[in-house]
A and B are shown apart, each in its own frame.
Chain A
């Protein structure tokens, strides 16, 4: 999941997070 904390851009977090293998769909 790429659920993010308030104010944190979730899509960017998903793009950067090394623990996430699936790329977010934009």
Chain B
């Protein structure tokens, strides 16, 4: 990752978020370690799909670990923390995937959190139409964000905005969360105006991309639900549990 330091044009909130950001190679090593443990999956299940499900679960666990270290979030009671994560878990997973592809920088393949590169032709041949369509739609967003020159400070700030995107009326601690939402919006606006003055509407363009992240995450949840109904998901799957949990 690029080193970032404070200074003019770097809002304090973004600086703190950059310092909280986990190192990709540490996340990769942890997840690879978990995946090497014997699977408790169904014997009739294709090994590759079961592995992808565990990979997605472990990626979400890394996201929960990140959220627990985040300022404001760590001050909240568990009920509010759960409400926030239940609202945005699929968006955080989609955005995590999309940003990894921006860093990967190859249009013809996708990079998994474990470091493996999968050709899009392989996805087309083996993934099934629902997953293939999801991957292609995510690739379109990757191109859009690449064209917008999304950088790491903007990525961490957008991730924080996704985490705090729940309407405060569903939370016990309204004021703390509302304050976090306002501070993150201001930080992102200030940062983009200072670092990309030639692109006056970058802030609005980035927020529009979050609408697409939300829409993609809905499609991803439909895919998961379809797999669940077809009895293809592993037992004790975290994402299915998130999918079935009642929203606030």
* Residues of A bordering B, CB below 8 Å: 6-13, 15-18, 25-26
Contact = CB atoms under 8 A, between A and B. Distances in A.
A17 B78 contact: yes
A7 B64 contact: no
B61 interface: yes
Contacts of B245: 7-9, 12
Contacts of B246: 6-8
Contacts of B78: 13, 16-18
A12 B57 contact: no
A7 B86 CA distance: 11
Nearest to A6: B246
B126 interface: no
Given A17-B78, A26-B61, A12 B68 contact: no
Contacts of B23: none
Given A7-B245, A26-B61, 18 more contacts: A7-B246, A8-B82, A9-B82, A9-B245, A10-B241, A12-B64, A12-B86, A12-B241, A12-B242, A12-B245, A13-B78, A13-B82, A15-B61, A15-B64, A16-B64, A16-B82, A18-B78, A25-B236
Interface of B: 54, 57-58, 61, 64, 68, 78, 81-82, 85-86, 236-238, 241-242, 244-246
Interface of B: prevailing SS? helix
Contacts of B244: 9
A10 B104 CA distance: 34
Contacts of A12: 64, 82, 85-86, 238, 241-242, 245
A9 B244 CA distance: 8
Nearest to B234: A26
The 9 closest A-B pairs by CB, nearest first: A7-B246, A9-B245, A9-B241, A15-B64, A11-B238, A26-B57, A26-B238, A16-B78, A16-B81
A7 B213 CA distance: 25
13 contacts: A7-B245, A7-B246, A8-B246, A11-B238, A12-B64, A12-B242, A13-B78, A13-B82, A15-B61, A16-B81, A25-B236, A26-B61, A26-B236
